[in-house]
């Protein structure tokens, strides 16, 4: 190995080791494979087999992710969660500590050196160490990018990284990016699930679209208006969507994510059993630039279930100020979410609670904590057929209208009755039937 190439490897190792804030950029599988390859090439007792294996592993992880080395570095910079990226979301650059700014500029310049690393050069060095007749194949193309919440390669900050001679000059655009899109999980995913005390990203959220949902236009318009107020930073209300099963309550909430993800909306699914963690979830999201819908599906409580008290306090009543970027959208088949029995009604008896009406009022007041209640009545025949025709048109099913309506009504009679869910199931069955006939 020539002296210049030896120096190049040493320089890359020093740049990687000198990172002050962006160490996480190299903590992934690709970054660790890159560092292992540098060590294998630079090792005093250079083992040709070890070097070849290190190169093969680096090639493998790049190909598995479908990323070039350069694209990987940029993606990791944009999603990195560190003291600078967290503060840049809330504080202007001029108000950040000078030492923090200097550390970011240092790291960006170091990462630029790693970015400029030529895969072909590494391949030639591996060839010389291993004694191969030909250099190993170079992986230098990006076939795809992960399906992040935003299309990163189309952002101005991405193009500037590729164009400027000094990455320290990207600082202002980078801070603006963090303020708009966030970092870490919130940049990577659009939908989440709260489980085991932490947020877990959902890679493939429900793709349902607002325009696919028909039949409850007033309810949809009201929910959209409330959500747009949330996104604009205005006071938004917690919403209870209750009504008949299969009427599209859950689908309507999920469709909001597809409509407004580009404006920073994120959806977090919270199970009833995890409602006690609501204060923790809220504190986790309070200073994040995105807006969040906490989605509680199929909500109801038994007589002795205290989980409703946690949600009641979370909706209204906690001494902590409610963040402007969070609302709770809950669906239920019950208007009164806590089961109430006639035995709860106050009747004079020695065994009765003295202030029984207070207990009744506590139960009834829970639903009132939702500032907005949307009612989804059972679909009548006309509404059901309207939904069927709309879904069939979207699916591209060409069938005589009278025949479509006749079969749709038959399906509803034999299955789950008239509802949006039944309409969807019928159209899915019909679409499969048509495609099988065409084969």
| Res 358: pLDDT | 44
Question: Rounded CA gap, 366 and 335, in Å?
Answer: 10
- Give the Cβ contact number of residue 113 at 10 Å: 16
* pLDDT tens profile 375-396: 888 778 888 888 888 888 888 8
- Which residues make beta-bridge pairs with 201? 192
Region 223-239: what's the mean pLDDT?
Answer: 93
38 Cβ contact partners less than 8 Å away, ≥ 6 residues apart: 9, 12, 13, 16
The per-residue pLDDT of the chain, averaged, comes to 83
Question: Rounded CA gap, 117 and 9, in Å?
Answer: 10
pLDDT band at 74 (very low <50, low <70, confident <90, very high): very high
Q: Domain extents for the chain?
A: 3-188, 191-376, 381-438
Question: Rounded CA gap, 49 and 53, in Å?
Answer: 6
* pLDDT tens profile 346-364: 555 544 544 443 444 444 4
Question: Token match 């076939």: residue?
Answer: 143
| Res 364: pLDDT | 46
pLDDT for 420 beyond 70: yes
pLDDT over 90 for what percent of the chain? 35
| Res 362: pLDDT | 47
Question: Rounded CA gap, 155 and 170, in Å?
Answer: 13
Region 242-246: what's the mean pLDDT?
Answer: 80
pLDDT for 228 beyond 90: yes
Question: Rounded CA gap, 81 and 413, in Å?
Answer: 54
| Res 356: pLDDT | 43
Lowest mean pLDDT among 9-13, 162-166, 188-192, 244-248: 244-248
| Res 401: pLDDT | 84
- Give the Cβ contact number of residue 159 at 10 Å: 12
pLDDT for 181 beyond 50: yes
Sort 233 into a burial class: Cβ within 10 Å, 0-12 / 13-18 / 19+.
exposed
Higher pLDDT, 437 or 149: 437
Lowest mean pLDDT among 23-37, 134-148, 219-233, 304-318: 304-318
Confirm if 247 and 379 have CB atoms less than 8 A apart: yes
Question: Rounded CA gap, 288 and 281, in Å?
Answer: 12
Alpha helix (H) ranges present in 168-289?
Answer: 171-181, 185-188, 217-231, 249-260, 278-285
How does strand 198-202 pair with strand 291-296? unpaired
CA dihedral over 260, 265, 227, 328, signed as positive or negative = positive
| Res 194: pLDDT | 94
Separation of CA 239 from chain center: 21
Question: Rounded CA gap, 243 and 183, in Å?
Answer: 38
Q: Does domain 191-376 have CATH number 3.90.1170.50?
A: no
pLDDT for 334 beyond 70: no
Report the C-alpha dihedral over residues 331, 335, 339, 341, rounded to 10 degrees: -170
Integer CA distances (angstroms), 6 to 109, 126, 235, in order? 21, 12, 61
pLDDT for 2 beyond 70: no
pLDDT for 42 beyond 80: yes
């Amino acid at each position: 190995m020539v002296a210049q190439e030896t120096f190049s490897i040493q320089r890359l190792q020093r740049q990687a080791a000198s990172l002050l804030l962006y160490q996480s950029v190299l903590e992934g599988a690709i970054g660790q494979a890159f560092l292992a390859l540098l060590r294998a090439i630079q090792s005093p007792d250079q083992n040709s087999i070890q070097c070849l294996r290190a190169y093969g592993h680096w090639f493998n992880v790049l190909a598995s992710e479908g990323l070039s080395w350069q694209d990987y570095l940029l993606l990791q910079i944009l999603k990195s969660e560190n003291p600078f990226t967290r503060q840049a979301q809330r504080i202007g650059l001029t108000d950040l500590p000078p030492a923090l700014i200097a550390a970011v500029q240092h790291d960006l310049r170091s990462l630029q050196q790693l970015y400029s690393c030529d895969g072909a050069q590494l391949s030639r060095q591996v060839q010389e160490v291993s004694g191969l007749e030909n250099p190993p194949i170079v992986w230098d193309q990006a076939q795809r990018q992960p399906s992040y919440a935003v299309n990163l390669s189309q952002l101005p900050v991405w193009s500037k990284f590729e164009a400027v001679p000094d990455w320290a000059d990207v600082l202002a655009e980078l801070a603006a990016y963090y303020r708009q899109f966030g970092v870490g999980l919130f940049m990577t995913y659009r939908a989440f699930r709260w489980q085991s005390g932490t947020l877990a990203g959902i890679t493939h959220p429900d793709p349902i679209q607002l325009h696919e949902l028909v039949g409850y236009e007033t309810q949809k318009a009201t929910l959209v208006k409330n959500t747009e107020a949330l996104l604009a930073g205005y006071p938004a209300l917690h919403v209870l969507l209750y009504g008949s099963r299969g009427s599209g309550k859950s689908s309507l909430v999920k469709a909001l994510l597809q409509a407004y993800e580009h404006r920073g909306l994120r959806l977090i699914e919270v199970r009833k059993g995890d409602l006690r963690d609501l204060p923790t979830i809220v504190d986790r999201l309070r200073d994040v630039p995105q807006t969040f819908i906490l989605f509680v599906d199929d909500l109801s409580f038994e007589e002795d279930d205290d989980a409703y008290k946690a949600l009641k306090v979370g909706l209204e009543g906690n001494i902590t100020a409610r963040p402007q970027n969070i609302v709770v959208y809950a669906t239920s088949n019950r208007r009164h979410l806590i089961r109430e029995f006639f035995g709860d009604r106050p009747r004079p008896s020695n065994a009765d609670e003295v202030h029984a009406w207070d207990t009744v009022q506590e139960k009834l007041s829970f639903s009132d904590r939702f500032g907005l209640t949307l009612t989804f009545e059972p679909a009548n025949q006309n509404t059901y057929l309207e939904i069927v025709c709309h879904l069939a048109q979207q699916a591209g099913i060409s069938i005589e209208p009278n025949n479509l309506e006749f079969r749709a009504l038959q399906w509803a009679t034999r299955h789950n009755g008239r509802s949006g869910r039944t309409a969807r199931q019928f159209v899915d069955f019909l679409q499969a039937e048509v495609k099988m006939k065409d084969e």
